Structures are given as C-alpha cells and as structure tokens.
Amino acid sequence: MGVEYRISCPPEKLPKLEEFLRHAGGKPSAQYPEQLEFRFRPCGPDEMPDATAMLEPAGVYFCDHCGAQEPVDVLFRRLIDEALACSDSSDSVTITAL
C-alpha cells in the first residue's frame, strides 16, 4: 500500500531512467526482482521499503510507501527531473496519480 504514480516518458529513455534509479539507491526486491526497493531507514528485509519503482513499457511506476518521507520526496522530485531531462519536450512526460 502507498501513494502510487505512473511517470510516462519515451520508451527509448527507459534504460537511462533505470540507471538513474539504481544509482539513486534502488536495489532489486528479493520477492519481485523487476521491482527496485528504496530503504532510507534501518529496517529488516521483511519490512515494507520506503518506496519502490518498476519500469513499465511506457514509463516508470513509483510507489511511496509512506516510510522516510523527506528522502522519498527528494527521490520522487529527482525522478521527475530525470524523466524531463531524458525527454525531447515536457509534453512527452506525464505524471499520473493512481
């Protein structure tokens, strides 16, 4: 559970966004390897991560699990900035709350 978003961007830019997410501290989930987990506070592997992200065919799915709020907010803003930087124009990036 958490606050979910879909950040669309040109599909050819997805490898760049994946690189950004991994560099920002995303680690593959043991249960769902296609999902990257972000843990900004000490917690066990069985506890809910602070945020998760997953590449989709037309963008990134991002879920704020309401853990360490300030670091998650900063990560979300940086992800949006990266998506905009990877795009030809701001019209090619859409942020949708789910």
* Mean per-residue pLDDT over the chain, rounded: 90
CA 24 and chain centroid, separation? 10
Q: Please report, as a single letter, which amino acid is at residue 28.
A: P
pLDDT beyond 80 at 4:
yes
* pLDDT tens per residue across span 56-84: 998 999 999 988 889 999 999 999 999 99
pLDDT beyond 80 at 44:
no
Q: CA-CA distance, 34 to 51, in Å (whole number)?
A: 14
The two structure tokens encoding residue 68: 């360490």
Considering the domain 3-40+48-97, what is its CATH architecture? Answer: 2-Layer Sandwich (3.30)
> Which position has the token pair 């949006």?
80
Residue 6 has a CB neighbour count (10 Å cut-off) of 15
pLDDT beyond 70 at 90:
no
Q: Which residue has the higher pLDDT, 45 or 11?
A: 11
> Which pLDDT value is given to residue 91?
66
pLDDT beyond 90 at 25:
yes
Residue 89: pLDDT band by 50, 70, 90 thresholds?
low
User: Does pTM surpass 0.85?
Assistant: yes
